[in-house]
Structures are given as structure tokens and as C-alpha cells.
Structure 1
Amino acid sequence: MNSQNTIPKDKGIDNTLKLLTEGYLFIKNRGEKLNSDIFETRLLGQKAICLIGEEGSRLFYNPELFIRSGAAPKRVQKTLFGINAIQATDGEKHLHRKELFMSLLMNPERIEDLAKIFRDKLSRAAAQWEEAEEVVIFEEMKNIICSSAFQWVGLPLKDDEIKAKAQNFIDMIYSFGSVGPKYWKGKKARCREELFLQRIIKKVRLGELICHSSSPLYVVSSYKEEEEELPEAMAAIELINIIRPIVAISTFITFSCLAIYEYPALRRELRLKNEDYYEYFVQEVRRFYPFAPFVGARVKKDFIYRGVNFTQGTLVILDIYGTNHDPKIWSNPYEFNPLRFRAKERNKYSFIPQGGGDYLKGHRCPGEEITLELMKVFIDFFVNGIEYKLPKQNLSYNLHKIPTLPESGFIICTVRKKKT
């Protein structure tokens, strides 16, 4: 990789369209072509520096050198994150609000509460699947996980509300990197959910809706910054930012099914319910299959790195997909091998499927432990709880689409619950 003091430059007046069309491979392809893990390009009409690998990740997650404010385009904030949400905060404000998320998303008792809700809903769903001609795993998972998340938050959904709510959250997630109708669909979905939750939060604050004091709904509704409650609009945005990543686990679960299908030799270990192997397996799913493509920040102050000038305000993009497939970190990175995690410690800069750095002080996603737990619950259910057949279908996924998913959504049929 490059060791020169001059940064390699990607050709083109503006490469935003190429990023949208090349998707997960945009940074990786250019890094290989330029033989460099750092290069300059132009995106959204401005200079951008792209980083790949553990060294770049370690630099990117240094809070003394980078900020998130102004990094995410407004179009992404209007669909995925919400305007001025936690992802766009820095300093003391970020640290204080991050404690809110940590208290809810990384509390072992609360994680187990959510896992139990999810496990129960899967069991009930299996009985319905026995009567269905076919079951699309992604469609089922987004509904079941959304219903589980709302119940866990403190807002159980009625049966006739689940599909619409789940679709709203999926539209927010899958509008990332989109233009035209798909983008507008995601924007409208966020607006609907923000207005809905604003009304709910107002009722909680007025005492018109009673919820348990430990529930995320109550905790967010009563959360204060500088002795002031968050405005209802911002509280609603942050409540969505608790629910939305949980619903997004439906993507990881769908890829888990694909891994079980593509690597049938691994089923034996999964049937044994070995807790360590489950950990290795879900981590390899998160590393191997595409989820978050990249993440952006802006330079906080001028500095020099490897002879390259980083000037204040410059947009910097870290390649998440490329780092998780970097041959300098991972041997045979395009081989699906759960046992690689048996001997490898979880490094907060080299293994970054949901972002990297420090949980408490940085911008690393606090929902990773929930992701791991729900994936394990589902895999146990899928391997040990049901029998099924796979009809002919298109299980390919397109790395040029952000986000991406197996084309069929993973279809199973002739489902039967296993006898215990």
C-alpha cells in the first residue's frame, strides 16, 4: 500500500454517481487500483479522503481529530438517522446522550428481556408457518423483530399495525443510497413514525399513557440534557434510533439463513448448541456478508498523517466493507470460516460491521450485543426448532446495491416444528 507523502487521487470531477452504482465496492476497487489504503476522490461536489483497513479505522475513530457534525448528508439524516440525532453530535453532548443509549441497549437484563420476547414470537410464528404455502424469511423477520422491539420499548403493537410499522422502518433503512421514489418513500416513512412517537411521548409526559419506569419509552421520554427534557421531536427521533437498528437485524438474520444453506457442513456444530460456536458463527456472518458500507466524518482540526495534510472540515470516509475483507487483517477474507474468531480477539478497529472505536466515548453502535443475541436466538430456532424445504429461488445478492439482500428474501416451504 501507498507510503508516499502525496496522496493518490481518484480521477473524475465528481464520483458520487459511481459510488451509488458501485456500492460496497467503490472504495475497495479504487484502493486496489491505486495500490493504497488512503486516497482522495470527490463526492457530493467536495474533496473526500477515503480510508481502508485497521490503521485507517484507528485514525478515523480518534475523537480528537474527527467530528460527525456535518458529515452525514441531509438526505441521509431525513431517512436513516433523523435530523441532528446522536449520530451527528460530538463532545460532551454526544457522551451524555450516548449514556442514554448504553443504558438501554447494553444492559444484560434488558437484552435478555428482548431476546425472550423475540423467542416467544418466533415460536408462535412457526405454528402459522406450518399453514403457509411458503415463508419469506426477510418479510417475516422484519415483522417479528419490529413487533418485538415495540413491545420491548413499551408500546405493544396490535396485529393489524405490525406490517405497516415494520415496513416504515425498513423503508428508512433501505432508502440509504437511493434516489427518486425509493428515497421519498423512506423520507415519508420517517416522518410518519416521528409524528406518531411525538404524540406518544407527549402522552407519557402528561401522564395520559402509563408505562413502566424502566421501559425505553419512559426513559427516553423523561431524559434530560442540561436539566431540560428533550423536545418531543428530538425524543421521537432518538426513540426511532433505538428501534430502527433492532429492525435492521432482519437483514443479518436473512444472511444467516444464506450462510446455513451455502455451508451445510456447519449445521452439525450449530445443532450441538455450542455457545462458543454460535458466537463464532454470528460474528463471521457479520464480517462476511454486506451490511453497513462505509461511514463518514469531518476533520476537526488540521493535522498530518503519513505525510498527508488533513485540513479542517474535509470529508473523510472509512470503508467498513473493505476493512472487514482486508487481507492484511483477515486470512482468506472471502472464505466463510467461523473458526477464525476462535483465535481472534474482537478488535474495535479491525472488525467493524456496525462501526468501530469505543462504545462509550465514540460512535460505535451500542446495539451490537442485541444484534448478537437475537441472531443466536434465531439460529437456534432455525436449525433446531423447525424443519423446512427450500424451493428454487434466486439467492444471489448485489454488492452494487446499498443496502443489499438475497434477491428472494430467502424462501422456505413445508415448514414443520420439530418435536422436542
Structure 2
Amino acid sequence: MPRLENGLTLLAKGYAWLPDVRRRTGRRAVGVRLGGLPAVGIEGPEAARFLYDEDHVRRSHAIPEPVQGTLFGKGAVHTLDGEVHRVRKAMFVSLLMREDGIASLVQRTTSAWDDAVPEWTRRPFVVLMGESAQVIAGAVTRWTGIPLRDDEVPSLARDLVAMVDGFATGGPRHVRARRARGRRQRWLTELVHDVRSGVTRVPEGSAVDVVSKHRDADGTQLSARVAAVELLNIIRPTTAVAWFMAFSGHALIRWPQYRERLAGGDPAFAEAWAHEVRRFYPFAPFIGGRAPQQLEFGGEKIPKNAMVLLDLYGQNHDPELWDSPYAFRPERFLDREIGEFELVPQGGGDPRTNHRCPGEQITVALLSALAVRLARLDWEAPEQDLTIALHRIPARPRSGVVLRVNSTV
């Protein structure tokens, strides 16, 4: 099949780029071009299974430098394959997928939210996305064992948000993202040096302790810079749950009939809410890797070294997987067992063994807990621009979701 679309169209269409190309062809696999190079866009559970099989797709040399220089960092676990990846990934799994660790982070974060509410009531309005980022950034950073003063939280939250906000664009957002990464990488590199030299003591078993001591598959200790990169790969994506909190606020404004049920605190419905927010709203448009040899999927030939792109947004809105996919219905997850390659906002498969995000359980737990608190909070939404532009990656409500929080007394 000819390659139907130049990747420049991605800038204009954003999340709609791959779904539109596939819709026009009627195929789950379609040849495209991205950055002038051949690529194949794929979608569906079997496509996700294909992408996460290292015999088919590799991550090394697959992530563009602008993304490494802002979002993931150079030398990050996302860029590794094979045994090197498995050993590094095991470190993240040990830190991010323990039930007691997740519970501890949720407790820290909800306490920080509760502490912030009285201050919100004294302001004319608050921006939910920004306030959520501060709450989460402070909680997760301290949870990792990184020393952090209260007055340092706002600037840290801004930098972590900037890294995510500028990874897929040029111009000022990208420049801010690079500067933010540089600041925070230097900060954490110095901390790792101090921890290793004994100048700074951190809790034994904390993320700072574990990452500082980690040795890769060949037995070598991570450089202080790469250790800093991996610490950022814990606190940055966790802080990005602020995007889903902004989307939760958007959903409660748009579909207020769910507010009372969510405020009731039923754990099953809160988790269903978290899944539906992650499915319905746009976050990552696609993920990809490189084909190590010539391959074929869905009747589409994949040249050696071509990019293979899994259409995350398209799959999360596929009518063959989801009834009325463009309707927001949290209840769809109350009686549904989710296949590991079906709901893919943070990738597919087993996070213990492949490239699926090991922090997904943390995302769901935090979003479930904070969304309930948001629903219980006494607030009003003034008139504002809640537009979510699909050409902007990552998308967000334009206003950030402005709320007027009423007194709790």
C-alpha cells in the first residue's frame, strides 16, 4: 500500500491524525510517513500485542531526541531493550507496584489535598490543573525520599508540568520543557552524588536510595545523571495525573449527574471513573518503536528500521472495543474485565515484563481517590473556555478548569 499521509499533518490534526488515516482506508494497519521516514500506524488489541513483542519492535533508537530531551531523559528505561531493559524495569516495578507503597503515596497525596483546601477557599478562584499538580508533585517527591521544602513545591510542580507540556511541540513550550528538565536533572544529579557520598541521608528502601544504588545488567552502577533521569521518571509522570484531574473537573462540569455518585466514595465506581477518564480524554496520541527487520502486520509491510506506531487515542475510541466510544460512561467499567491489550492510555501488556508503564496502578489509585475528593468539594465553575483542542499535544482544557471553592466551615 502507498504511504498515504505525511507526518506534517500530525501538527494540524494531532490526536485525529492516525484515526483519520485508518478510517479513510478502513484498515487497522496503514503506511504513513513521520518526519520524512516510513512508518506504519496500527490499532487494536492484536496490534498492541504486536508492538509489545520485542521480536517485532524495539525501543532503542526509536524515541526522537526532542522527546528524550524533554519528557523521558537520555539513557532512560524507555530507550532500552532486552535484558538491560528487564533489569532496569525490575527496579521500577519494585518501587511503583507494591500495594503498601501505592497506599502510602495515596495517603500522602490525599492529606496534601485536604491541607490545601482551606487556602483555596480564601482565593477568588483556583485553577484545578495547577493546584492538582502542586498537591501531587509535593506528595510524590517526598514519597520518593527526595528532601523538599514547602516553598520549593510550586516551582517544582511548574517544571514537572512543563516537561510534559512541551515534549510534542516546538516553540516556547518546548524551550520551557528543556530548561525545566535541565534544572531538575542538575538538582537530582547533585542529590545522588550527596547520597552516595553520605552528605545527605535518605530513608532506606526509598526510591532515592534504591535508584542511587541500582546496578544495571552488566553490574555497573547508574551514573549520577542517569539516576537523576530515572528519579524524574517517577515524579514527573506521577505529577502528570494533574492532567486527568483537570479532565475529571471537565467531566463533572459537563456531566454533573455523576457528581453525587462519585462523591459517595464507592471504590468500584471511583475506579471506573478513573478508567473512563483515561479512556475518553486525550493524553498520549500514540507510542512507537522501530522494526528490527522487515515485518508485516494486518497486510501492511513494515520495512526494516521503520517506525511502528500504536494508535492509543484511536484504540481507546474504537467502536469494535467500546460501545458508544465517544460517550462518557464510567459505568461501562463496572461489569467489564479489561483485557491487558484493550485499554491502552498508558500502553498494553504486562508492566512487569514489557514497556507498559509500571506506574499505571499509581495513576488509577491517585485519580480514584482525588476525583472523589473533588466531587465532594463545594465548588462552582464560573464561565470559562473549557475547549479541548485535539491538535494540541498533550491536550488539556484551555482554562485549566477554573473553580470557585466555597468555605468548608
TM-score by length of 2: 0.97
**Cα-to-partner distance string for 1:341-389 (whole Å, 9 max, x where unaligned):** 12321212111011112211110001111111111221221122x2112
Does residue 241 of the first structure (1) align with residue 241 of the second (2)? no
Aligned ranges for residues 119-198 of structure 1 at < 5 Å? 119-198=110-189
The one-letter code sitting in structure 2 at the alignment partner of 1:150 is T
Q: 1:335 to 1:198 in 2, by over 3 A?
A: same
Equivalent in 103, 108, 113 of residue 99 of structure 2: 108
Contact 1:8 1:34 survives alignment (8 Å): no
Q: Which runs of 5+ in 2 are unaligned?
A: none
Equivalent in 371, 374, 395 of residue 404 of structure 1: 395
Aligned to 1:318: 310
Contact 1:174 1:403 survives alignment (8 Å): yes
Aligned to 1:355: 347
Contact 2:8 2:35 survives alignment (8 Å): no
Does residue 298 of the first structure (1) align with residue 297 of the second (2)? no
Task: Report the alpha carbon displacement of residue 310 of structure 1 after superposing the two structures with TM.
Answer: 2.5
For residues 331 and 377 of structure 1, what CA distance do their matches in structure 2 show?
26
Does residue 416 of the first structure (1) align with residue 396 of the second (2)? no
Does residue 47 of the first structure (1) align with residue 41 of the second (2)? no
Q: Classify the secondary structure of the residue corresponding to 2:185.
A: helix
For residues 26 and 301 of structure 2, what CA distance do their matches in structure 1 show?
19
The one-letter code sitting in structure 2 at the alignment partner of 1:388 is W
Q: Which runs of 5+ in 1 are unaligned?
A: 1-6
Task: Report the alpha carbon displacement of residue 172 of structure 1 after superposing the two structures with TM.
Answer: 0.7
Aligned to 1:93: 84
The one-letter code sitting in structure 1 at the alignment partner of 2:281 is Y
Does residue 216 of the first structure (1) align with residue 203 of the second (2)? no
Q: Classify the secondary structure of the residue corresponding to 2:406.
A: strand
Aligned ranges for residues 269-418 of structure 1 at < 5 Å? 269-384=261-376, 386-417=377-408
Contact 2:126 2:402 survives alignment (8 Å): yes
Contact 1:147 1:156 survives alignment (8 Å): no
Contact 1:24 1:402 survives alignment (8 Å): yes
Aligned to 2:3: 9
Point out 4+ residue stretches in structure 1 off by more than 4 angstroms.
none
For residues 140 and 134 of structure 1, what CA distance do their matches in structure 2 show?
11
Contact 1:8 1:38 survives alignment (8 Å): no
Task: Report the alpha carbon displacement of residue 39 of structure 1 after superposing the two structures with TM.
Answer: 0.8
For residues 262 and 156 of structure 1, what CA distance do their matches in structure 2 show?
39
For residues 307 and 123 of structure 1, what CA distance do their matches in structure 2 show?
54
Equivalent in 39, 59, 74 of residue 65 of structure 2: 74
Q: How many residues align?
A: 408
**Cα-to-partner distance string for 1:103-136 (whole Å, 9 max, x where unaligned):** 1111111111111111111111011011111111
Task: Report the alpha carbon displacement of residue 17 of structure 1 after superposing the two structures with TM.
Answer: 2.3
Task: Report the alpha carbon displacement of residue 243 of structure 1 after superposing the two structures with TM.
Answer: 0.8
**Cα-to-partner distance string for 1:281-332 (whole Å, 9 max, x where unaligned):** 1110110011111101011233333443323211111110000001111111
Task: Report the alpha carbon displacement of residue 228 of structure 1 after superposing the two structures with TM.
Answer: 2.1
CA RMSD of aligned residues (A): 1.3
